[in-house]
C-alpha cells in the first residue's frame, strides 16, 4: 500500500516535494518494552530479550535485560505490560481455502457418533436456510462408538432431495446421501476408479462413503465456487489464522482459480498474513503456471515457488500406501494416487522449471517411492538447493529416515497428527512399523531439518497446540503419561525453531522471516502466557493478544 501510494504521488509532486514525502512516509520507529521476548537466533539457540525496536516493517534490534533503552522522543512507544513476545509463528502446511470454508460450513469435528453428526447437520441447516448443497467436514469414524464408516441412510431420513457431502477429517474420504449419489449416477454397477474406493454393502451397493479418488464421483457435481467466493473465504481464513498467532502459512496445494482469488485480494492491498502457496499438481493449467515462473507480490505477503503432489492417501481411511499389509486389514496396502511414471514425470517437469517439489507421502511405501525419485532426479536436475520436501513423512523405514539429510529433503511434519492419531496409528501399522512413525527425534538426529505445521483444517491451526504436542507428545489431558513414544519428543528450542526459522527455511524465506534478527520482517505476536517459563503441559492454553505483520498490527483479541 505504502509503495503504491508513493508511486502515485510521484506523478503529482516535484522532486524536492517528493523527497519530503518519502521522509514523511518512511522511518517510523516503534519500541515495544516490558516484554518477555524469545526468539531463536540464526544458530538455533534460544535468545531472550526485554524490548523490540523496529522501523516501518523491519526489525532494528532487540534489547536484552540490563541494556539501556533509547530515549528518542520521535519513537512510538508501546508498553508490553509484561506479555510474552515471539516472532510470528509459521505453519508450513495448511489449507487456507478449506479452512476458510470450514468456517462457513457445518463442522463435524469432535462428534462421537454418526447420530450426533446428523444432529449437527440438521442444526446447521436450520441456521442457514435453504442451501442448494449441504456441505461440511471433520467427521472421524475412528472416534465414533461404531468405529464404522457412515451411511447415506442416516442422512436420507432428514435431507430428502437436498444433496449432502461431508468430508472426513483428513479430506481423504467423504460421506454422501442418496440425493448426492443419484446426481452422480452412482449405483451398484459403478466401478471403483483408480486410486479410489467406494464402500459397499454385502450386495455391492454403495453405502455412502467414498475414499480418495472415488470422492470425485460426487464432488464433480458440486457447483464450483466463484473466484470472488473463494477470495471471501480466503480472507476470513487468514484473519482467523492471524488471530491464532500465525503470521505466515504455506498453502499446501492451490488451484489456478484459487491463485486468481489471491491475486484479487492483493489488488486491494497486502494479505493479512503471509502466504507461500504451492501449486496443486492436479491443476489442468499446471504446465502454464510453471512456465510463468515464480510469483512474489511487491508487499511480500504472497509468494509461489513450489508445487504440491499427493503420492498417497491418509492412515485413518487406510489410504496411506504401505509396503506390507495393514496390521488391522490383511490383504490391504493402501493406495498410490499416481502411476509411478506420472509421479516421476511431474516431479521432473517442476524441477526443470525451477520449482520446489513438495510431495504428500504418509505410508512407508509412498515415502520410499518419493525418496527413490528424489535420489534420481535431484542430481539429474541439479536442484538440491530448491529444498524439496515430503509433506507429512509420517511412516518411514529406518533406512529412509537417513535419506532426508543426505538428499537435502525437508520432512514437513505436523506435530498434532501424532497426538491425534496415537490411538489409531498403532492399530493400522503394528508395533514394529510404529517405531518409524512420527519419528521427529530420529529425523533430527539424522540431520534433517523439520518444518512444523498443522495441516489445518485437518487439525486446529492453533500453533500452540503444535508446540505443545511437539514438546510433550501428549494430548490436552496430559495423556499418555510421559508422552506417546516420548523418545521422539522435540526440545522446546527445537519445537520453537520448527515453527519459526525452520518453517521459514522450508519456504526459502529464512533471510526475511523466522527470527527477530536486525533487518528481518517485524512479524511478531504478543502472548498472554510465558510458554517457556511455565510447565510444557500448559503451552496449548496460550492465547494471542496481538499479531503484527511487517510492523503493522493485523489482529487484536
Contact positions toward Zn ion, by CB under 5 A? 252, 455
- 471 Cβ contact partners less than 8 Å away, ≥ 6 residues apart: 489, 490, 491, 492, 495, 536, 539
Q: How far is the CB of 70 from Zn ion (least distance, A)?
A: 45
Q: Which of 51, 96, 52, 80 is nearest to 551 (CA)?
A: 52
Q: Based on CB atoms, which residue is closest to Zn ion, 394 or 474?
A: 394
| Spatial contact of 90 and 414, defined as CB atoms under 8 Å apart | no
Q: Based on CB atoms, which residue is closest to Zn ion, 196 or 551?
A: 196
Q: How far is the CB of 43 from Zn ion (least distance, A)?
A: 31
Q: Based on CB atoms, which residue is closest to Zn ion, 50 or 392?
A: 392
For residue 439, give the H/E element and its range: none
Q: Based on CB atoms, which residue is closest to Zn ion, 250 or 520?
A: 250
The count of other CB atoms within 10 Å of the CB of residue 87 is 29
> Strand (E) positions, 403-450?
410-414
Q: Based on CB atoms, which residue is closest to Zn ion, 364 or 455?
A: 455
Q: How far is the CB of 171 from Zn ion (least distance, A)?
A: 7
Q: Based on CB atoms, which residue is closest to Zn ion, 142 or 361?
A: 361
Q: How far is the CB of 455 from Zn ion (least distance, A)?
A: 4
Cα torsion 403, 310, 238, 417: sign: negative
Q: How far is the CB of 93 from Zn ion (least distance, A)?
A: 6
For residue 233, give the H/E element and its range: helix 227-243
**Residue 246, Cα to own-chain centre: how many angstroms?**
11
Backbone angles phi, psi at 520, to 5 degrees: -80, 165
- Give Cα separations from 76 to 25, 28, 72, 200, 526 (angstroms): 15, 8, 9, 65, 17
DSSP assignment of 490-523: PPHHHHHHHTTHHHHHHTT-TTTSSS--TTSB--
DSSP assignment of 361-396: E-SHHHHHHHHHHHHHHHHHHT-GGG--EEEE--B-
Backbone angles phi, psi at 294, to 5 degrees: -65, 155
| Spatial contact of 407 and 375, defined as CB atoms under 8 Å apart | yes
Q: How far is the CB of 95 from Zn ion (least distance, A)?
A: 6
Q: Based on CB atoms, which residue is closest to Zn ion, 98 or 365?
A: 98
Q: How far is the CB of 165 from Zn ion (least distance, A)?
A: 19
Cell matching residue 253:
496445494
Cell matching residue 45:
539457540
Any alpha helices (H) in 133-185, and if so which ranges? 153-159, 178-184
Q: Quick check: helix, strand or coil at residue 431?
A: helix
Backbone angles phi, psi at 371, to 5 degrees: -65, -40
Q: Which of 431, 428, 429, 393 is nearest to 409 (CA)?
A: 393
| Cα 491–Cα 450–Cα 85 angle in degrees, nearest 5 | 60
Instruction: Please tell me the distance from the alpha carbon of residue 515 to that of residue 522, in angstroms, as a whole number.
Output: 9
Q: How far is the CB of 465 from Zn ion (least distance, A)?
A: 16
Q: Based on CB atoms, which residue is closest to Zn ion, 169 or 369?
A: 169
Q: Based on CB atoms, which residue is closest to Zn ion, 299 or 455?
A: 455
Q: How far is the CB of 312 from Zn ion (least distance, A)?
A: 12
Q: How far is the CB of 252 from Zn ion (least distance, A)?
A: 4
Q: How far is the CB of 138 from Zn ion (least distance, A)?
A: 14
Cell matching residue 381:
536436475
Burial degree of 545 (CB within 10 A; 0-12, 13-18, 19+): middle
Q: Based on CB atoms, which residue is closest to Zn ion, 252 or 265?
A: 252
Q: How far is the CB of 213 from Zn ion (least distance, A)?
A: 16
Q: Based on CB atoms, which residue is closest to Zn ion, 392 or 489?
A: 392
Q: Based on CB atoms, which residue is closest to Zn ion, 118 or 273?
A: 273
Instruction: Please tell me the distance from the alpha carbon of residue 292 to that of residue 289, in angstroms, as a whole number.
Output: 5
Q: Based on CB atoms, which residue is closest to Zn ion, 270 or 363?
A: 363
Q: How far is the CB of 360 from Zn ion (least distance, A)?
A: 6
Amino acid at each position: 500500500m505504502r509503495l503504491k501510494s508513493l508511486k502515485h504521488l510521484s506523478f503529482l509532486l516535484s522532486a524536492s516535494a517528493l523527497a519530503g514525502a518519502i521522509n514523511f512516509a518512511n522511518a517510523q520507529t516503534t519500541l515495544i518494552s516490558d516484554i518477555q521476548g524469545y526468539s531463536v537466533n540464526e544458530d538455533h539457540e534460544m535468545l531472550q530479550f526485554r524490548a523490540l525496536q523496529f522501523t516501518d516493517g523491519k526489525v532494528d534490534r532487540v534489547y536484552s535485560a540490563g541494556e539501556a533503552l533509547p530515549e528518542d522522543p520521535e519513537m512510538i512507544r508501546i508498553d508490553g505490560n509484561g506479555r510474552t513476545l515471539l516472532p510470528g509463528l509459521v505453519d508450513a502446511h495448511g489449507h487456507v481455502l478449506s479452512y476458510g470454508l470450514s468456517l462457513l460450513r457445518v463442522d463435524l469435528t469432535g462428534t462421537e457418533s454418526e447420530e450426533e453428526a446428523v444432529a449437527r447437520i440438521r442444526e446447521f441447516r436450520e441456521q442457514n436456510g435453504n442451501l442448494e448443497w449441504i456441505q461440511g467436514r471433520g467427521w472421524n469414524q475412528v472416534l465414533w462408538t461404531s468405529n464404522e464408516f457412515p451411511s447415506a441412510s442416516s442422512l436420507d431420513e432428514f435431507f430428502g432431495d437436498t444433496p449432502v457431502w461431508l468430508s472426513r477429517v483428513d479430506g481423504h474420504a467423504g460421506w454422501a446421501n442418496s440425493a448426492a449419489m443419484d446426481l452422480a449416477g452412482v449405483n451398484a454397477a459403478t466401478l471403483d476408479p483408480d486410486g479410489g474406493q467406494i464402500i459397499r454393502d454385502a450386495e455391492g451397493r454403495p453405502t455412502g462413503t467414498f475414499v480418495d479418488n472415488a470422492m470425485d464421483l460426487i464432488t464433480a457435481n458440486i457447483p464450483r465456487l466463484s473466484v470472488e467466493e473463494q477470495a471471501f473465504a480466503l480472507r476470513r481464513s487468514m484473519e482467523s489464522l492471524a488471530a491464532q498467532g500465525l503470521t505466515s502459512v504455506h498453502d499446501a496445494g492451490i488451484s489456478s482459480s484459487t491463485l486468481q482469488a489471491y491475486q484479487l485480494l492483493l489488488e486491494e492491498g497486502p494479505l493479512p498474513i503471509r502466504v507461500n502457496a504451492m501449486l496443486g499438481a492436479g491443476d489442468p493449467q499446471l504446465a502454464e503456471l510453471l512456465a510463468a515462473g515464480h510469483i512474489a507480490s511487491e508487499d511480500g505477503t504472497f509468494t509461489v515457488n513450489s508445487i504440491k503432489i499427493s503420492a498417497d492417501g491418509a492412515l485413518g481411511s487406510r489410504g496411506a500406501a504401505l509396503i506390507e499389509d495393514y496390521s488391522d486389514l490383511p490383504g490391504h496396502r493402501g493406495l498410490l494416487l499416481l502411476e509411478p511414471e506420472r509421479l516421476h514425470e511431474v516431479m521432473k517437469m517442476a524441477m526443470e522449471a525451477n520449482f520446489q517439489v513438495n510431495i504428500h507421502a504418509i505410508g512407508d511405501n509412498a515415502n520410499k517411492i518419493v525418496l527413490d525419485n528424489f535420489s534420481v532426479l535431484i542430481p539429474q536436475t541439479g536442484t538440491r538447493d530448491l529444498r524439496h520436501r515430503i509433506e507429512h513423512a509420517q511412516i518411514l523405514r529406518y533406512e529412509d529416515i537417513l535419506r532426508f539429510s543426505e538428499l537435502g529433503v525437508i520432512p514437513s511434519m505436523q506435530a498434532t497428527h501424532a497426538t491425534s492419531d496415537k490411538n489409531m496409528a498403532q492399530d493400522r501399522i503394528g508395533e514394529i512399523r510404529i517405531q518409524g512413525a512420527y519419528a521427529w527425534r530420529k529425523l533430527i538426529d539424522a540431520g534433517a531439518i523439520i518444518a512444523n505445521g498443522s495441516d489445518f483444517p485437518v487439525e486446529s491451526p492453533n500453533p500452540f497446540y503444535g508446540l505443545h504436542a511437539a514438546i510433550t507428545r501428549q494430548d490436552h489431558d496430559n495423556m499418555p503419561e510421559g508422552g506417546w513414544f516420548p523418545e521422539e519428543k522435540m526440545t522446546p528450542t527445537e519445537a520453537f525453531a520448527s515453527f519459526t526459522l525452520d518453517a521459514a527455511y522450508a519456504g526459502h524465506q529464512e533471510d526475511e522471516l523466522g527470527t527477530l534478527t536486525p533487518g528481518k520482517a517485524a512479524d511478531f505476536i504478543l502472548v498472554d502466557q510465558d510458554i517457556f517459563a511455565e510447565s510444557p503441559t500448559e503451552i496449548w492454553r496460550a492465547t494471542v493478544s496481538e499479531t503484527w505483520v511487517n510492523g503493522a498490527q493485523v489482529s487484536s483479541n
